[in-house]
Amino acid sequence: MIVKNIPCSSKTASSGNCGSITVPVVLGPTAIGKSAVALSIAKATGWDILSCDSRQLYRGMNIGTAKPTVAERASVQHWLIDILDPSEEYSAWRFADEAATIIRNRAKEGRTVMICGGTGLYFRALQTGQTEREPSDPMVREELTRYARIHGSHALHRELTAVDRATAARLHPNDTQRIIRALALFRQTGKAMADHVQEGTPPSDMRFIVIRLTMDRAMLYERINNRVDAMMREGLLEEFRRLRSEGYHRQTPGLQCVGYKELFATEEEASFDDAVAKIKRNTRRYAKRQITWFAHQVKGMEVDASLPSRALQQVREYLVKAMED
């Protein structure tokens, strides 16, 4: 069964407007089973998958990001995976721009692109057309990065608190990348981060059909713990050490992800078991924040993913029917 968007006419294709493009979307917290659902549906329908995951962008970070396998990516066209080195930065606004381009280009070919992931800010930027007024200066960011290497991210967080309390309150003191971004913008302009974000115009040529996967909290936390154990067996520590041998460090944007940043402690006095326990704890906390964010920020049909086969059937039937409407 192939379910697809109708290709644009030559006139609309040349103008960049493909009429109404239906975009299936599967969102949910980490470890809930989004990728398995999306992959199964994509194989059955002939759809592409566009990753909405801020970590799977990075090359060489495969195990800790639960990236689709080589075989899975060979069976279904995936987008926005392995497009950056761990040292590179990325933003929600860049995601929105690149995702929209991919969706429109594939629509011209009659192809449907399904969004799948858990980075809610990325999806919201695409759905709402949110834009950034002014990019931060790379030289200022580099200066702040050097400062963080010497004094630590907590020192930068204290500085951010003094000039942009609202942004500092929502950022963890260890979130060096976002702290640097906010401070760089303030140093350039004297304005808080919120003043640099403006609501744009939602893409008029796209219709998003959103599924939000949910699950009993205790069950999800158990899945997270089990998945972290599986990642360690698959060689996450060795993957981390390889990245370190390539010169990546604590302030490297990619290695500030949960699952990698905790492993720096193994190079000091922390035990391997302590690091694994922190990965589990931080992943559970991240999932909790995702659940709260999706519940308040994204409208869509909720599907209980506790029984994978039933959830898959519900999601597939809902999305396929929506494509035909």
One-letter identity of residue 214? T
Cα dihedral sign, 215-221-222-224 = positive
Domain coordinates in residue numbering, the chain? 10-130+199-324, 138-197
CATH 1.10.20.140 for domain 138-197, yes or no, is yes
pTM listed for this prediction:
0.83
Give residue for tokens 């080589």: 70
| C-alpha triplet 101, 182, 134: angle, nearest 5° | 50
The pair of three-digit structure tokens given for residue 285, joined into one six-digit string: 């906390």
CATH 3.20.20.10 for domain 10-130+199-324, yes or no, is no
On the question of a common fold for 10-130+199-324 and 138-197, the answer reads: no
- Cα 301 to Cα 100, 110, 246, 294: the distances in Å are 22, 25, 43, 11
Conformation bin of residue 279: beta by default, left when phi > 0, alpha when psi is -120 to 50: alpha
Cα pseudo-dihedral 293, 297, 300, 301, rounded to 10 = 40
Give residue for tokens 């497009």: 83
Give residue for tokens 């190079």: 267
Would you give per-residue pLDDT tens digits along the chain (325 residues)? 555 665 554 334 333 445 589 999 999 999 999 999 999 999 999 999 999 999 999 999 999 999 999 999 999 999 999 999 999 989 888 999 999 999 999 999 999 999 999 999 999 999 998 766 566 677 788 888 889 889 988 999 999 999 999 889 988 888 888 898 888 888 877 888 777 666 678 999 999 999 999 999 999 999 999 999 999 999 999 999 999 999 999 889 999 999 999 999 999 887 999 999 999 999 999 999 999 999 999 999 999 999 999 999 999 999 999 988 8
Q: How many residues would you count in the chain?
A: 325
- What's CA 276's distance to the chain center, in Å? 22
